[in-house]
Amino acid sequence: MFVVKSGMNSGIFVVFFVIEHFLAINLSTKEVRYMKSIFEQMDGTYTMQGDYCLPDLTLPAEEERPIGVWAQCRLRYLKQHHQILYYNLLTSGKLQSHLADVEEEAQTLFFRLVKEYAEREGVTEQLKAEKPMEWIRRMNSISFQTREIVNQKVIYFLMLPL
C-alpha cells in the first residue's frame, strides 16, 4: 500500500495491489478505480499458482544454428567466468547466435592455421606416404598449437556481441 497525492486537487489516493490490478481509492470522494499494471498494459498475462499470480514470461525466439565443440567451450567459459554477459545474452535471445558465430569463427581460424603451419613446416602428402608416423607426429603438434591459439583468440577472448 502506498499513498499518492494528486497535483490536480483531486484528492489523495491510497493504492493497493490486489491480485492482478492496482486498486486506487480516492480518500476524499471515496471513488475506487481499478488500474492495470505496466505488465498488463503491455498485454502481459498472469497464471494463478496456488495463492500467487505469476507472470507468463517467455524468452524471445532464437534461430536454430548448430553449435559444436568450440561453442560449447565458449558457453562453459561464459557460465564460469562471465555470468553477467551469459545471462544478458540468454535473456535477450542472442546466446545461440553468439555461440554459432563463435563456432564459425573458431573453425575458420583453426583450419586456416593448420593449413598455414603445415605448409610452413613442410608437412605434405608425400611425407604422409613415406613416413606416416612422422606425419602424424607433426600434424598432432600443429593441431595442439592451433587449438591453443584459437582458445586464446576466440574462446577465452572477451568479445562483446553486438
| Per-position DSSP letters for 78-90, written without gaps between them | HHHH-HHHHHHHH
φ, ψ for residue 10 (rounded to 5)? -100, 10
Select the more confidently predicted residue: 31 or 106.
Answer: 106
The residues near 74 (Cβ < 8 Å, ≥ 6 apart) are: 99, 102, 103, 106, 154, 155
Statement: residue 51 has pLDDT above 70: yes
Mean pLDDT on 75-89: 94
How sure is the predictor about 160, in pLDDT bands with cuts at 50, 70 and 90? Answer: low
The pLDDT, as a whole number, for residue 33 is 60
98 in Cβ contact with 89 (< 8 Å): yes
Q: Sign of dihedral through CA atoms 25, 31, 32, 33?
A: negative
pLDDT confidence of 5, banded at 50, 70, 90? very low
Task: Provide CB contacts within 8 A for 94, sequence distance 6+.
Answer: 62, 161
Give me the amino acid identity at 162.
L
Instruction: Name which residue leads in pLDDT, 54 or 94.
Output: 94
Residue 109 has pLDDT above 50, yes or no: yes
Contact by Cβ (8 Å): 16, 23 = yes
**Between these two residues, 24 and 112, which has the higher pLDDT value?**
112
